[in-house]
Amino acid sequence: MTVTRLVALLTAAALVSVSCGGIVDPSKNVTETFNGTIVQGGQGQHPFSSQNGEFTAKLTALTPTSTALVGLAITLGATDGSCTLQSFQQNNFVSVNAPALGGQIFSGKYCVFIYDVGGIPAGVTENYTITVSHP
């Protein structure tokens, strides 16, 4: 790749970044809290919108079985606000208050999913809280 072509690509990338509002400083992120219930073999989903920047998602409560492992996933959201199953990032070994998901995120619609990976006992309804910090 020639220097001229590299400079042109970097300039184009910078212009795209500026035109999309640039990357938001993580210290200016908002934190959304999502609550719900999940049973054995079940799932919960919660839509949200984000700007360019960094995100984190964490399971902050699971009761009555706080030691159960569950899965969390960030998926792309549809334009109508519904959730799709196009996974952006997922973790099948999530425990309460442990780092679960995080990294770079781009402006758009997303959903956070919680799902049973075999850790929820039969006949038990788990109450959960998930926090998502995003720009």
For 75-118, the pLDDT digits (tens) are 999 988 899 888 889 999 999 999 999 999 999 999 999 999 99
In the prediction, which pLDDT does 30 show? Answer: 96
Among candidates 119, 37, 106, 120, which has minimal Cα distance to 74?
Answer: 106
Whether the link from the prior residue into 26 is cis, omega within 30° of 0, is no
Q: CA-to-CA distance for 112 and 88, rounded, in angstroms?
A: 10
pTM of the model: 0.80
Residue 9 has pLDDT above 70, yes or no: no
Instruction: State the DSSP code for 83.
Output: E
Residue 130 has pLDDT above 60, yes or no: yes
Mean pLDDT (whole number) for 13-29 = 61
Strands (E), 1-135: 30-38, 43-50, 53-63, 70-77, 83-94, 101-105, 108-116, 126-134
Q: Which CATH architecture has domain 24-134?
A: Sandwich (2.60)
